Amino acid sequence: MLPNVNPEVVAEMFKFGYIQTIYPSSNLQELTYLPSKVKDAVRLFREGTKTTTDIYLQVISAGPDWEGVEFFPAQHLVQIGISKPREPMKNLWYQKYPDNLNKAYVEDRRISGLKAIYDRHTAILSNRNTWTYPFSPSIAVISIENRTMNIASIGKIRNELLRISTNSIPSSQETKKKLCKLLRYDKTKCGLCHTNNANSQEKEDIEAPILL
């Protein structure tokens, strides 16, 4: 998303997990309708870095899901940084719409996004040079800093990892089953597997599809 894109379009694409990178203009008008957690983090980033240059927001999302009339919002990891020459910054896990959308695709896209978010959080803990901003149940906002992470930030990242590894993020039952199988494939035990019958047919080791 380059400068001067309609902010309502940006907000809707963000809501459904189809934003990869936003390059807002200096007045940040493209962010007008984004969630307050994102806008507040951008304000704090600009105040903290005292930057007057352009910034970018790189986004990894696990798309929304539903079950019956219950809607589960997308999960987002947003990284704020100082922009260099604007070249597309595509996320490797991203895949465009298939010809025929169906519920299975929605589920696979959500677990692929959760796995991508999990991997990024794992890398963050390894590098320990990340600053965190206030999180919400569906949005985590970070920036890369030239300083060591504080205890509070480490705790927040670990909590996000725990939410995914224990399969505790609200999703449809089919999505949870697929995520459970994916986590077990990665030799991680998740909550859903522990609560199911150990002899259940659903506990077979079937690798969940990953959208790359």
3-state secondary structure the chain: CCCCCCHHHHHHHHHCCCCCEECCCCCCHHHCCCCHHHHHHHHHHHHHHCCCCCEEEEEEEECCEEECCEEECCEEEEEEEECCCCCCCCCCCCCCCCCCCCHHHHHHHHHHHHHHHHHHHHHHHHHCCEEECCCCCCEEEEEECCCCCCHHHHHHHHHHHHHHHCCCCCCCHHHHHHHHHHHHHCCCCCHHHHHCCCCCHHHCCCCCCCCC
Check residue 62 and give its pLDDT: 97
Select from 26, 3, 25, 10 the least CA-distant residue to 78: 10
pLDDT averaged over 10-residue windows placed end to end, the chain, 212 residues: 88 94 92 96 91 88 94 97 66 52 88 94 89 95 87 94 93 93 66 48 39 35
pTM above 0.85, yes or no: no
Check residue 51 and give its pLDDT: 77
C-alpha distances (whole Å) from 151 to each of 128, 140, 210 are: 10, 16, 33
Check residue 188 and give its pLDDT: 56
C-alpha distances (whole Å) from 75 to each of 70, 78, 154, 194 are: 16, 10, 19, 24
Who contacts 138 (Cβ-Cβ below 8 Å, separation ≥6)?
73, 74, 75, 76
- The 3-state secondary structure of 54-84 reads CEEEEEEEECCEEECCEEECCEEEEEEEECC
The sign of the torsion formed by the CA atoms of 6, 7, 8, 12 equals: positive
Check residue 210 and give its pLDDT: 37
